[in-house]
């Protein structure tokens, strides 16, 4: 069995770090990892933890999956561009959801 290509290792390392950050935000409440967010926001911390943490976890798992795929096969050169576009869409969706957040209930 051959060793994984360096690009696969890069994808796996980046995916691991992003997934770990998602776990820290989502499950441990480390919202200080989020650039530009402060606790004085009108959006409750638990909502930010859930929305941002889930987005970061999804991105991290997707990058890990690309790394796993790259370690077993040759991936097309445009895959990085598609992953980047997917990340931009995920972040755009997160920003939209946070900026249009309205509390439910009374």
Q: Is residue 1 part of a domain?
A: no
Residue 104: what pLDDT? 80
pLDDT for position 3:
53
Specify the pLDDT at position 2: 57
- Is the residue at 84 inside a domain? yes
Q: Is residue 79 part of a domain?
A: yes
Residue 53 lies in a domain: yes
User: Consecutive 10-residue runs of the chain (106 residues): their mean pLDDT?
Assistant: 75 97 96 86 90 98 96 92 98 95 78
For residue 18, what are the contacts with CB-CB under 8 A and spacing of at least 6? 56, 59, 60, 63
**pLDDT value for 38:** 81
Classify residue 105: in a domain, yes or no.
Answer: no
Q: What is the DSSP string of 5-38?
A: PHHHHHHHHHHHHHHHHHHHHHHH--GGGSTT--
Residue 104 lies in a domain: no
Query: Is residue 65 in a domain?
Result: yes
Q: Look at the chain and report how many structural domains it folds into.
A: 1
Q: Which domain holds residue 18?
A: 6-99
Tokens for 100?
A: 């249009």
Helical (H) or strand (E) element with 90: helix 79-99
Is residue 35 included in any domain, yes or no? yes
Q: Are 18 and 44 in contact (CB under 8 A)?
A: no
């Amino acid at each position: 069995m051959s060793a994984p290509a360096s690009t696969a290792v890069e994808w796996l390392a980046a995916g691991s770090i992003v997934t770990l950050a998602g776990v820290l935000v989502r499950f441990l409440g480390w919202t200080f990892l989020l650039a530009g967010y402060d606790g004085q926001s009108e959006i409750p911390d638990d909502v930010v933890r859930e929305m941002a943490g889930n987005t970061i976890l999804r991105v991290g798992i997707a990058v890990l999956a690309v790394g796993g795929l790259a370690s077993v096969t040759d991936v097309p050169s445009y895959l990085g561009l598609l992953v980047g576009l997917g990340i931009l869409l995920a972040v755009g969706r997160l920003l939209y959801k946070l900026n249009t957040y309205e509390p439910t209930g009374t």
